[in-house]
Amino acid sequence: MTGNRLVITTQVDDSVQAIHNLGVLHKDLEPRNILWNEDTGRVIVIDFERAEEVEQ
């Protein structure tokens, strides 16, 4: 599981960086808003309801 944690954490970090580069602040990043597909090893960040645009 430790290896999975590193993969998940890295993908969440990459996802947050990508949305920040688009000028979006998630504002509700917590475990329930991070989905991990065990079959593909892919992470998806969800629930942008509280997100807001920020000036770049």
Domain ranges of the chain: 2-53
2 has pLDDT over 80: no
Would you state the structure tokens that stand for residue 30, as one six-digit string?
Answer: 């917590």
User: Could you give the C-alpha distances from 43 to 34, 53, 54, 55, in angstroms and in order?
Assistant: 7, 22, 24, 27
C-beta separation of 36 from 42 below 8 A: yes
User: For residue 20, what pLDDT is reported?
Assistant: 95
In the block, residue with structure tokens 């597909």: 37
Q: pLDDT tens-digit profile of 8-56?
A: 999 999 999 999 999 999 999 999 999 999 899 999 999 999 999 998 7
Name the residue among 39, 34, 40 with its Cα closest to residue 15.
Answer: 34
What is the C-alpha separation between 16 and 22, in angstroms, rounded? 10
User: For residue 55, what pLDDT is reported?
Assistant: 82
What pTM was estimated for this model as a whole? Answer: 0.82
